[in-house]
Every structure is written in structure tokens, then in C-alpha cells.
Amino acid sequence: MSFLPRVARGVMMLIGIGRQTADTDEAPATPTVQATLLKGEIHSDMPLMQHAGFACRPLADSDHVIVFIGGNRQRGVSIASNDQNSRPKDLQPGETCIYSPATGSRIWLKADGSIALLPANNKVTTPGDFTAGGIITGNEVVAQGKKLSSHEHSNGNNGADTGPPV
């Protein structure tokens, strides 16, 4: 094969689109995936490269953009992944959303400048202090096991317990 057709073939073999066929292997320092490409090629143990500071464990059936080093189909690296079934479809122009394909939980940077935290289990956890510079609103406040809406104080009513807040 002459030089130019060889180069053209190498360029054509550089990039592929594949579908993940198994769970991500998290054991190596860089996670790996197995994917099937459009023509039925199966590629295993491909490193899953992700942006520093972000980590994702794509689900089986996720799509991947795969780059083959030097056009060598035995040296694939996944450089992007997408889950078509769970991707949020309600974003406005310019909005950004970090979401979990498995649960649907989101951190949503909205067009109006607000940030929406939408956990699937309705719980947000922090191991340390939480500081807010504005009003905090909600249905109930519980501090050290005492509900604000129903707690009573002793000796507040001529020696008897007070009633709950009104």
C-alpha cells in the first residue's frame, strides 16, 4: 500500500464511537471500560480518561468517544462518555448541570444565576459546618433532636410545661 492511502487509513482509524458493554473496572489507577464499536469490534481494558477534579463511573450502555493512538485499534482510550437515556433535557441555553445517570440527582447552575441542588433522596449532607448569608426556609427545623414546631419548655407556665409554638 502506498504512503498516502496508508496515512488516510490511519486517520480514519483514529476515532470511533462505541457503546459500553460492561461495568467500569475501577481497580486500576485509571478506570477502564469495555465497548463495542459500530461494526461490532469489541475493545476491552480501554483507559477512561476524565477531566481532573471530576469522576464518573459510566453505566453499561453509555456511549463513548474512543481515540485510537496512532490509528492502532488495539490502543483505544475513551475520552468522553454520555448516557442518552438519562441526560437532562430541560436545560436552558448557557446552563450547566452535573447529574447522576443512576439516580437523577443534580447540581444545576441555572441561567438566572441560582444553583439548584436536587438530590434524588431529598437529602443534602455535609460533614462540617454550614453557613448561609440569607434566610433559610423549610417545612421543619430540628436541632439536637428537638423540633421547632412542637417543642415545649418546662416551668414556663406557672410550673407547667409550655405548649408548642403557635
- The secondary element (H helix, E strand) that includes residue 10 is helix 3-12
Give 136's contacts (C-beta < 8 A, 6+ positions apart): none
160 forms beta bridges with 157
Domains, the chain:
3-82 (2.40.50.140)
pLDDT in tens, 18-63: 999 999 999 999 999 999 998 889 999 999 999 999 999 999 999 9
pLDDT higher than threshold 70 for residue 156: no
> Which three three-digit cell numbers place residue 164?
408548642
24 touches 4 (CB < 8 A):
no
pLDDT in tens, 130-151: 898 998 888 888 888 888 888 8
- Give the Cα separation of 98 and 96 in Å (integer): 7
Amino acid at position 99, single letter: Y
80 forms beta bridges with 65
- Give the Cα separation of 101 and 115 in Å (integer): 19
In 3D space, the residue among 50, 11, 58 whose CA is nearest the CA of residue 34 turns out to be 58
Q: Stretch 54-75: mean pLDDT, rounded?
A: 93
